[in-house]
């Protein structure tokens, strides 16, 4: 595959130039032996320690330890590049090895077998540059799968969720793609504008985006996605090297569902992706089920329309709270239903009869006035529709097991926010 071979070659050359000291020596040799292409990249320099060989070829180690690798002399970018070389080499059924002597030289040896090609090199190169929906086989734990004579870019697995990753760092983009491709079909884009173009053709289950990108930055992209009714439901993760609190706040305010700083832990990223997709699925199942027609109210499961009905009743009672003569007939009239249907509805909702409901709410309202005002008990009694002191005290004792005076003394220092009159 022309595109894969070019990436392998470019990354090896870049790595050689980076680690060759002034007056050093670089040699590239290419030969064919027994139907195998042999590519050798040699450079003088500090070489590679044996214990570091597996590190520089393992994308999980590189992603999880970017800062640590930088201290060792492995830049995050080149570390990714070499891991990509390993992945692409084995995708082509080849191998890559290192021969090195500390403080003298390092030589990368790539072996690629002869494979039948389904398309010409130009078509393959174009496909690699433009097809953002290809899948790369995982290299996790170095358990590679043979691709045989299949195309390097297989079609999407219809049983996998689709994710789009947007980042202008090509090496990081491909590394994240490979890291996730065992579980997801991964679309890739190298800037926000390309991401928008892909969205017009294919809606993913989740989007991961960088912030600092050409053409359309990640913040602007996130706002566009979250303000569009056709894409606002898509979970979105910002993955960025911008790590200040203000930058994180800006990202979340733009609509991001999660903000993960670079460098990042690969397992943490996978966990966030999984949870956001599962949450989205659960919400979809909820809103498509009969359960969405219900709400909890005071521990009771009510249909939304029934809760609205009870809230309307409470509002009507509140508007007539000081009306001594306000009765179930008046409530039914305000609701524009018959008194018979009013009692029937209360029974269906497992509520006390309308007369008792009104009386109970008067006492609840009185209890609020006892704690939030300096009105006398007599004034509160009249303001809540009671004219008989004995009756008022009796109903208060029935509701709170206390007289109004005792209730005020016992609860006057408690938080007023505890009183809620919504059913």
Say if 95 falls within a structural domain.
yes
- Alpha-helical segments (H) within 92-217: 121-130, 170-180, 192-199
Give the CATH number of the domain where residue 333 resides. 1.10.10.60
Cis amide prior to 263 (ω within 30 degrees): yes
Do 163 and 188 reside in the same domain of the chain? yes
Do 261 and 301 reside in the same domain of the chain? no
Do 50 and 102 reside in the same domain of the chain? yes
Say if 135 falls within a structural domain.
no
- State which of 288, 314, 329 marks the end of a domain: 288
- Alpha-helical segments (H) within 184-262: 192-199, 218-227, 245-253
Taking the C-alpha atoms of residue 169 and residue 210, their distance in angstroms, rounded to an integer, is 9
Do 105 and 165 reside in the same domain of the chain? no
Domain containing residue 69: 1-116
Give the CATH number of the domain where residue 107 resides. 3.30.565.10
Q: What are phi and psi of 26, to 5 degrees?
A: -125, 135
Do 315 and 393 reside in the same domain of the chain? yes
Say if 147 falls within a structural domain.
no
- Look at residue 302 in the predicted model and tell me its pLDDT: 57
Say if 130 falls within a structural domain.
no
Say if 423 falls within a structural domain.
no
Q: Could you read off the pLDDT tens digit of each residue along the chain, which spans 423 residues?
A: 666 788 788 888 888 888 899 889 999 999 988 889 899 999 998 888 887 777 676 655 545 444 444 334 344 444 566 777 777 787 788 888 899 889 899 999 999 987 665 544 444 443 444 343 333 223 333 333 333 333 333 456 667 899 999 999 887 888 888 889 889 999 999 999 999 999 988 899 999 999 999 999 999 999 999 999 889 999 999 999 888 999 999 999 999 999 999 878 888 999 999 999 999 888 876 555 444 434 444 445 456 677 788 889 889 999 999 999 999 999 999 999 999 999 998 888 878 899 999 998 999 899 889 888 889 999 999 999 999 999 999 998 988 888 999 988 888 655 444 344 444
CB neighbourhood size of 130 (10 A) = 7
Are the C-beta atoms of residues 211 and 240 closer than 8 Å to each other? Answer: yes
Q: How deeply is 108 buried, as exposed, middle or buried, from its count of CB atoms within 10 A (0-12, 13-18, 19+)? A: buried
Instruction: Give the total number of structural domains in the chain.
Output: 3
């Amino acid at each position: 595959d022309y595109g894969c071979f070019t990436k392998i070659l470019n990354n090896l050359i870049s790595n050689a130039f980076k680690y060759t000291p002034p007056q050093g020596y670089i040699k590239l040799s290419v030969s064919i032996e027994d139907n195998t292409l042999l590519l050798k990249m040699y450079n003088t320099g500090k070489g590679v320690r044996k214990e570091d060989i597996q590190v520089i070829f393992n994308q999980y180690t590189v992603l999880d330890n970017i800062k640590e690798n930088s201290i060792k002399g492995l830049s995050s970018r080149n570390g990714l590049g070499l891991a990509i070389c390993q992945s692409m080499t084995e995708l082509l059924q080849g191998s890559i090895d290192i021969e090195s002597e500390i403080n003298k030289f390092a030589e990368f040896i790539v072996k690629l077998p002869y494979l039948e090609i389904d398309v010409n090199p130009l078509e393959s190169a174009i496909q690699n540059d433009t097809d953002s929906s290809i899948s790369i086989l995982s290299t996790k734990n170095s358990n590679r799968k043979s691709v045989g004579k299949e195309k390097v870019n297989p079609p999407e697995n219809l049983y996998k969720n689709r994710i789009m990753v947007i980042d202008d760092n090509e090496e990081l983009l491909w590394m994240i793609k490979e890291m996730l491709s065992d579980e997801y079909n991964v679309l890739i884009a190298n800037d926000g504008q390309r991401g928008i173009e892909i969205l017009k053709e294919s809606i993913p289950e989740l989007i991961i985006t960088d912030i600092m990108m050409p053409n359309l930055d990640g913040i602007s992209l996130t706002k566009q996605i979250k303000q569009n009714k056709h894409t606002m439901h898509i979970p979105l993760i910002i993955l960025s090297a911008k790590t200040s609190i203000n930058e994180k706040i800006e990202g979340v305010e733009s609509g991001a569902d999660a903000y993960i700083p670079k460098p990042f832990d690969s397992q943490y990223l996978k966990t966030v992706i999984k949870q956001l997709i599962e949450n989205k699925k659960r919400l979809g199942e909820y809103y498509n089920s009969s359960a969405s027609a219900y709400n909890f109210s005071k521990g009771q499961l009510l249909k939304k329309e029934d809760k609205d009905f009870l809230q309307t009743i409470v509002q009507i009672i509140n508007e007539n709270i000081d009306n001594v003569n306000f009765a179930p007939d008046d409530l039914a009239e305000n609701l524009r239903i018959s008194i018979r249907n009013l009692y029937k509805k209360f029974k269906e909702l497992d509520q006390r009869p309308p007369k008792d409901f009104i009386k109970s709410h008067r006492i609840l309202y009185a209890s609020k006035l006892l704690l939030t005002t300096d009105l006398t008990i007599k004034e509160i009694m009249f303001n809540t529709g009671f004219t008989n002191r004995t009756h008022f005290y009796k109903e208060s004792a029935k509701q709170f097991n206390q007289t109004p005076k005792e209730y005020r003394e016992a609860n006057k220092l408690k938080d007023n926010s505890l009183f809620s009159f919504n059913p």
